[in-house]
Homo-oligomer: A and B are copies of this chain.
């Protein structure tokens, strides 16, 4: 299905045209420190270089790149936020270095190829929003030709990983209660509609229940997990080399991995998903200072990304030493390529060797 750009704008880009939303990202200290350090502790990669900032938003990464010594920075932004970015560049007296271009990266044209691409493209659980596609497009179109010049090309960040771990959480009880009260309410509604208005609605009970299940129990939740809520080992679902990744490789993420329960006598309430990214430069020309940005559960360094929680209903009893074999498939929603659907299969092998009945759940990242 061809992408309708106007629909995409209405559904996706529009939120980025609010300063309020940009400010939320700009107030995320973990995020800011990571990019700030990645740039200023690796000035060598910026001094005298041409830089492309894919999705510049308020312009922050473009401005930092210029302050770190870039010769020229192209700051591309799809929304009207570009006007604020331009004002900000001017107010910080960098208008001779930073050129703000309004347009989507897929449509615009640059007068030259660049040495460095910088971008903050990560959505919830890394791939939500599918913005990495745009960075891949920028890389393939605007990096300098292979050979000597290609060596000079750096992608910031250079590596990205998706993680998953078993968790416990009280939310599950709330969600189940919410779902049940929605259903109680529905049953009262069916009775009333029959009595007062002579129409039998009971044939819609199943579809309504499905709709509510999807909403309360199958939609992944944004959450700031406490590390104590992680009750086992975390596994890498996917490791992406941003320098070589292709769209087919990230469009569908399939992975089988194992998790071990490390706490005894626990309820496995679901799984937490998060990501980290690294700024390593490339192997021929590594970063002087490798920077990591992680969105793992943390008390001191929470991020606006939080973690995505996938609830299990009902929770399963687990104990220390139990092993979980997970089969994970994440694909894009047919209705909106920026949202995701996850199929999560789980087989539990207890420490004793006993195998529990495997189960498979479907989730939506909306």
Contacts and interface: CB of A to CB of B under 8 A. Distances in A.
Interface of A: 4, 6-7, 9-11, 18-20, 23, 26-27, 32, 36, 58, 60, 63-64, 67, 84, 87-88, 90-92, 182, 186, 189, 193, 196-204, 207-208, 211-212, 215
B58 A189 contact: no
Nearest to A203: B91
28 contacts: A4-B7, A6-B6, A7-B7, A10-B10, A18-B211, A19-B211, A20-B208, A20-B211, A20-B215, A23-B189, A26-B193, A26-B201, A27-B189, A32-B197, A36-B197, A58-B201, A63-B199, A64-B197, A64-B199, A67-B198, A84-B207, A87-B207, A88-B199, A88-B201, A88-B203, A88-B204, A90-B203, A92-B199
Contact of A60 (B58, B88, B199, B202): B199
Tally of this chain's copies? 2
A154 to B, nearest CB: 21
A185 to B, nearest CB: 8
Given A36-B197, A67-B198, A198-B67, A23 B87 contact: no
B202 A91 contact: yes
Instruction: Among A20, A23, A186, find the residue whose CB has the most chain B CB atoms closer than 10 A.
Output: A23
Contacts of A67: 198
Contacts of A203: 87-88, 90-91
A242 to B, nearest CB: 24
Contacts of A208: 19-20, 23
A200 B90 CA distance: 10
Nearest to A198: B67
A356 to B, nearest CB: 34
Given A20-B208, A23-B186, 19 more contacts: A4-B6, A6-B6, A7-B9, A19-B207, A19-B208, A19-B211, A20-B182, A20-B212, A20-B215, A23-B189, A23-B208, A26-B193, A32-B197, A60-B197, A64-B197, A84-B204, A88-B201, A88-B204, A91-B202
